[in-house]
Amino acid sequence: MSKLKIPVHTVHSGILQENAVMLGDRLIKKLKIPAHGPILLTFGSFRQEVTVIPVPKSDNLRVSEGLARRTGWKARNVLNASYVPGSRTLRLGPLIGVLVSREHPERPERLFGPITLFCRELTNACHTQGAFVYFFTPKALETTGSTISGWVYDEGWKQSKLPIADVINNRLTTRKAENKPSVQHFLAEVKSRYGTHFFNEKFLDKTEVFEALRRDSALQRYLPESHPLSGFAILKRMCGHYPVVFLKPVRGSLGKGILRISREEGGYRLQSTTPLGTRKQSYPTLTKLFQTIAPKMKNTRYQIQQGLPLMEIGRRPVDFRALVQKNGSGKWGVTSIVARTAGNNHFVSNLARGGSLSTVREAIGKSSIPPGAKESANLQLPRAALAIAKGVEANIPAHFGELGIDLGMDQSGRTWLLEVNSKPSKNDNTPLNDTKIRPSVKQMIQYCRYLAGL
């Protein structure tokens, strides 16, 4: 199978019919396309049998306006191309679809809310890598067919009918949207009918992750003791073992709803996260404290977890977010790790709760962990993140292409797993730069190309 990247130009339908394409002589030779007989042109789910008209001294593929309309191509694109001799198929793409939660057509500058700039950045990266990307919401799945209504960026956001993508990235931000029957039906249908690859296909919950990873003996060293909060007995046992425990909503994110319980003189202290800071309440007994928590347990499932004496900067706890992604060979790699320091009056480090970012080296340099541990931390953190990503893939039956892995380092320098997030944030926290594309965005496209074989 021969591969290369070729410019695709649209010409007037009067010059060229939909069932014919013009292709430069040199490209025909490089792709090893036979001189006679029709071939099949494909782009995502789009299929069209075409006759290839050779053009001397040309280095592009020319298609009719009608064919471009059916594929969603603009006047000019650059796409990866590969020819498969066995099926006489010329494949173009990959065509990438990104499933997002919502669209705001009345606000084109913020069409997809806080991830709009990421969508622009991904579009720019696709242009340079010979891929084509569009964005769609669950609303587009309410009508079925071989095309989908999606958004593409071309000097502004435009909506058009597009083929089903070769690869779909699930960027839905709520379980409610993800579990809609129309979404689940669509995903099952496109996988079976078109062989579409769909990654980050589901949310993870904390109980599922810790129970799955506990089965791998090599990962147990990273796991704090953790159990579903089933009632008072497990709370009493954990509070007897550890001076601090955390209650984390099994399906929570952004640090919302986390409770911290600690022993204090004369009883127990309960701390809870609020947008304005930490709320503190004291109780003479654990029984009294549990009476406050019990009503919350009717609507929220909690995971009770061993409290860790995390490294601190200025008495503010620090943790680390590792972005682990599949690469162009389908292998896991660590793209980035950043340190997150909790804001004043907070015990969680999430940016949504006033936390701040810094480099790993900077945070470890300012911390009070032992000098020997500081030297090995830069090796320990990526090693742990990579092992945990592989463990998630091996023990949880779902397809993931990227994971946000939250790690802690205690004051002795030991690395711990705090949480695994299957929808790492893509919010607009970096300025858009048309010339510089983040490694994480490039890596995502490389993985899409690997999945599509383009």
| Interval 384-408 mean pLDDT | 95
Locate 78 and state its tokens.
């650059």
Q: What is the pLDDT of residue 2?
A: 58
Q: What does the alpha-carbon distance between residue 423 and residue 438 come to, in Å, rounded to a whole number?
A: 17
The verdict on whether omega for the bond into residue 382 sits within 30 degrees of 0, i.e. cis, is no
Distances (CA, A) of 275 to 154, 257, 346, 353, 354: 38, 10, 9, 6, 9
Judged against a pLDDT cut of 70, whether residue 145 lies above it is answered with: yes
Over 80: is that where the pLDDT of 5 sits?
yes
What number is the average pLDDT over the span 393-410? 94
Give the chain's domains with CATH numbers: 2-93 (2.40.40.20), 95-201+434-452 (3.40.50), 206-221+310-421 (3.30.470.20), 225-306 (3.30.1490)
Per-residue pLDDT averaged across 251-256, rounded? 69
Among positive and negative, which fits the CA dihedral 363, 367, 373, 374?
positive
Non-local (6+) Cβ contacts of 93 within 8 A are: 43, 44, 79, 80, 131, 132, 166, 452, 454
Nearest in space to 123 (alpha carbons), one of 156, 166, 75: 156
Torsion angle of alpha carbons 287, 292, 293, 296, nearest 10°? 150
Evaluate whether 203 touches 175 at the Cβ level (below 8 Å).
yes
Helices (H) and strands (E) in the chain, counts: 11, 25
Are residues 340 and 357 in contact, defined by beta-carbon separation less than 8 angstroms? yes
What's the rounded mean pLDDT across residues 27-56?
Answer: 92
Cα–Cα distance, 249 to 257 (Å, whole number):
6
- Which residues touch 225 (CB under 8 Å, ≥6 apart)? 238, 241, 242, 305, 306
Percentage of the chain beyond pLDDT 90 is: 68
Task: Please state, in angstroms and rounded to a whole number, the distance separating the CA atoms of residues 2 and 231.
Answer: 61
Q: Is 349 exposed, middle or buried (0-12, 13-18, 19+ CB in 10 A)?
A: buried
Q: Distance between CA atoms of 417 and 311, rounded to whole angstroms?
A: 14
Which residue, 271, 269, 262, 265, is CA-closest to 242?
A: 262
Mean pLDDT of 38-57: 94
Q: Is the pLDDT of residue 273 over 80?
A: no
Flag whether pLDDT at 420 surpasses 90.
Answer: yes
Taking alpha carbons only, the member of 209, 206, 202 closest to residue 188 is 202
| Relative orientation angle of helices 206-214 and 371-395, to the nearest 10 degrees | 100
The arithmetic mean of pLDDT across residues 430-449, rounded, is 78
Confidence of residue 433 (pLDDT cuts 50, 70, 90): very low
pLDDT digits (tens, 9 = 90+) for 352-389: 445 678 888 888 888 878 887 888 888 899 999 999 99
| pLDDT exceeds 80 at position 426 | no
This prediction has a pTM of 0.90
**Residue with token string 């147990």:** 220
276-321 tens-digit pLDDT: 667 889 999 999 999 999 998 988 899 999 999 998 888 888 999 9
For residue 81, the model assigns a pLDDT of 95
Contacts of residue 328, defined as CB under 8 A and 6 or more positions apart, other chains included, come to 443, 446, 447, 449, 450
